[in-house]
Amino acid sequence: MTTIKLHNTRTRRKEVFAPLDDKNVRMYVCGPTVYDRAHLGNARPVVVFDVLYRLLRHVYGSDHVTYVRNFTDVDDKINARAAESGREIGEITAETTQWFLDDMGELGALKPDHMPRATAYIPQMVAMIEDLVTKGHAYEAEGHVLFAVDSWREKYGALSGRSVDDMIAGARVEVAPYKRNPMDFVLWKPSDDDQPGWDSPWGRGRPGWHIECSAMAHELLGESFDIHGGGNDLMFPHHENEIAQSCCAHPEGDFARYWLHNEMLQVEGKKMSKSLGNFFTVRDLLDTAVSGEVIRFVFLQTHYRKPMDWTENKRTDAQKELGKWHRMKGNETAGQAPQQVLDALGDDLNTPKAIAELRKLSDAGDIPGLLAGMDLMGIRTVSDEFLSQIREDEREVVEDVRSQLVEARETAMRTKDFSEVDRLKSALVDAGVEVRMSKEGVELVPGAGFDPAKLEALK
């Protein structure tokens, strides 16, 4: 069996992964707050933990791994979006949840085993808060219920490596007058008539952000489970608060034993920001003929614990390399997962090394090994099964348009007028076809949303 080593944020060292139960390996990853499209940075933890999920399934068996990733569908950002747009909150969250699933699916991410919505677990949250109040770890104040950090003072801050005193000294937030300690955090807060709310022992209200994940993780994975993941921006306060309230509510358990955090994403060496004009969503890229496979490949060339820089050069290089690998495929099928790729992934998800091993397989002409390694890493998002289902007449339509695009491209290179090339590419993308253009030629790859009818007008 492949040995898996993971860098545990809690202990600050790389450890051999030993699950509590190798017949039920359990992982929880913090998911999105659903009020808008997922931006590129939101996609990084999805891809990182999808690779880990695939590795765990390969090592322990797909029936022996449980992956939970939540949706936060009650939040002040969602309330604000509803107020701005005049739309119902449920309508917004349903739409944006599906957007997220569609976009992440384009990146080759498998759906987790459970995708709980916070609003479906309000009773469990209320019960956990009641228990914390009873045990002296929480208190009610002015319609709010707050976690008492002093009741967990000796251990609070262990994950992020901060003391309570240091956190108080560095706090920049306005301290509510009803807090006993500036670091106390909200478990339950009152709702007015225009805000979503549920009945509780403390009146009509809604949960604080942190309690959601604790309640859902306990309900679906128990008081102790193996892995908890997310971006390093969640380490404090979200994950720190999860640990505090979960361990106080269920002292018999360990909550999560291994903590993994991915670093943040930049664009062309700068923090992604609307003010800098370098902010874009996953859908923005997909709609400009950048395939999900290319996005994923760029992500995986940087180790998850290092800052990842999205650049145009990386995108074009990824597109060329993947195009080369796809053209090498021929009639070959995937073989056994290469041990050298498994070993790289087992070493704290060393995806850059795994990709280097794929390149060696490509150079050696080991196509079955290359394809198996790509499959293991989730790189091939267009499945052989799907491509084989395209009828011969549909293939002819695609080939006819490809010929037009090749001719238009050759003309454009002479005239410097690329309007016809852009028109054809736009029509192909709209029809669900990925366009791969390189010095070697033009390759068209129909995707899961392929609609050949949209190409008929181009014939």
* Strand order from edge to edge, sheet including 185-190: 138-141, 144-147, 185-190, 205-207
Q: Does 144 share its domain with 221? A: yes
Whether 355 and 449 share a structural domain: no
User: Residue 31 is part of which domain span?
Assistant: 5-262
Residue ending a domain, among 360, 381, 402, is 381
In 3D space, the residue among 281, 320, 394, 349 whose CA is nearest the CA of residue 43 turns out to be 281
Burial 177-194 (b: 16+ CB within 10 A, else e): eebebebbbbbbbbbeee
DSSP three-state, residue 374:
helix
Residue with tokens 């956990």: 128
Q: Quick one: 287 and 357 in the same domain?
A: yes
pLDDT along the chain (459 residues), means of 10: 95 98 98 96 97 98 97 94 93 96 93 97 98 98 96 92 75 74 95 94 96 98 98 95 97 97 95 87 87 94 97 92 83 90 98 98 96 93 48 74 86 89 87 75 72 78
Domain boundary among 235, 262, 289: 262
Closest among 451, 415, 406, 411 to 431, alpha carbons compared: 451
The closest alpha carbon to 16, from 420, 426, 347, 398, belongs to 347
Please give the DSSP secondary-structure letter assigned to residue 189.
E
CB 107 within 8 A of CB 292: yes
Domain boundary among 234, 262, 290: 262
Both 293 and 206 in a single domain? no
Note whether 198 and 344 are same-domain residues: no
Residue 297, H or E segment: helix 292-300
Residue 121 and residue 19 share a domain: yes
Asked if 134 and 227 sit in the same domain, the reply is yes
Give ∠ CA 31-109-70 in degrees, rounded to 5.
Answer: 20
Residues listed for the chain = 459
Q: Are residues 12 and 111 in the same domain?
A: yes
Q: What is the domain-level CATH number for residue 196?
A: 3.40.50.620
* Residue whose token pair is 């490596």: 161
Does one domain contain both 410 and 353? no
Q: Is the peptide bond before 237 cis (omega within 30 degrees of 0)?
A: yes
Q: Beta strand pairing status for 185-190 and 205-207?
A: antiparallel
Q: Are residues 231 and 290 in the same domain?
A: no
Residue 459 has what pLDDT? 65
Chain center to CA of 360: 28
The count of structural domains within the chain is: 3
Q: What is the DSSP letter of 390?
A: S
**pTM to 2 decimal places:** 0.84
Which residues neighbour 401 within 8 Å (Cβ) at sequence distance 6 or greater?
Answer: 424, 427, 428, 444, 455, 458, 459
Pair 224, 322 in one domain? no
Based on the fold, state whether residues 212 and 158 are members of the same structural domain.
yes
Strand pairing partners for 314?
none
